[in-house]
Amino acid sequence: MSRFTQTSNVRRMIDIPGGLAAAHERYNGAAGRAFVAGLPELAAGFLDRWGLRLDGPSMYGVSALVLPVVVRADGTPAVLKLQLADAETVGEPAALRVWGGDGAVRLLGHDPVTGTMLLERLDPARTLSGLADAREAVGVVAGLLVRLTSFPAPEGMRRLGDIARGMLERTPPVLARIADPAARRLVADCAAEVREVADEPGDRLLHWDLHYGNVLGSARAPWLAIDPKPLSGDPGFELWPALVNRFDADEVRWRFDAMTEVLGLDRGRARAWTSGRLLQNCLWDVESGRGLEERHLEVVLRLREGRG
């Protein structure tokens, strides 16, 4: 069989999930359609180039196609991750190199032109979302954050300070579009808290998106982080996902206290950066025409009750 025939067969074997195509259509328009259309060719090229063979059905997230593979040379199980590079994903390989598998999935290969990565294979069926004890899950996140944020961010990483200033610039017109006075006042207060800490944004390497679905089990460690959207900044900006995942208003203060204690964070600064996460979400929601999420507002209200 010729290499051309083999490659053609591989392209036909690569399933492009409809959900991935729909997400790219929604968020990336023509660029997303072109990316999805080129995925079979792109994947087949890297399977050949890196000596890989398919080893299971396609998986996907909001932006990436993930193919279970085996490295032909030594039988190592891995995954091939193909995604459209953007401001959030471009720093992923650099962050994974810095972490070197300490608390996060290992990077086995990277193509800087396309952003394609070969990653250690974890267990996609075992996510932190499935852990029965919600408090135990919070403890897992806190433990991972201790390890991940112990590293200084490398040069060239997106900076939280820049993101904070951008949010503050976008806030006035968004406030004008929030009809409810109490919600508008809360969002304005969050912006004021961010303004107080924006000049000292920190320099730690942040994951930014450590929700429970981005924590998987593995053979070499109980839990590891995947899919970072890395930043250089203050670890207080990392607490938000564990406060809103499996949301329980009565648990917000306990979760915040537990994480700030484990991470050794200043509670006031951590509250301010958590307010920054609410502000960020509110800006996205209002600018895209969606309503504000009540549970998001409730997180900050509960933390204000626990000031001290």
- The residues, ordered by sequence, that sit 6+ positions from 305 with a Cβ below 8 Å of its Cβ are 253
Contacts of 201 (CB under 8 A, 6+ apart): 159, 160, 161, 164, 232, 233, 234
- 227 counts as catalytic: no
Name the DSSP letter for residue 235: G
- How many CB atoms within 10 Å of residue 291? 11
Would you give the DSSP letter of residue 104? Answer: B
Phi, psi for residue 261 in degrees, rounded to 5: -70, -45
In the block, residue with structure tokens 């080129």: 38
CA distances from 225 to 116, 122, 238, 259, 302 (A): 18, 10, 13, 17, 27
Element (H, E) at 225: strand 224-225
* Annotated catalytic residue, options 209, 234, 250, 266: 209
91 Cβ partners below 8 Å, 6+ apart? 156, 157, 158, 228, 229, 230, 231
Query: How is residue 9 written in tokens?
Result: 């067969």
CA distance 40 to 11: 5
CB 62 within 8 A of CB 98: no
Stretch (H or E) spanning 196: helix 181-197
d(CA 29, CA 23): 9
The answer to whether the CB of 305 falls within 8 A of the CB of 253 is: yes
Provide the annotated active-site residues.
209
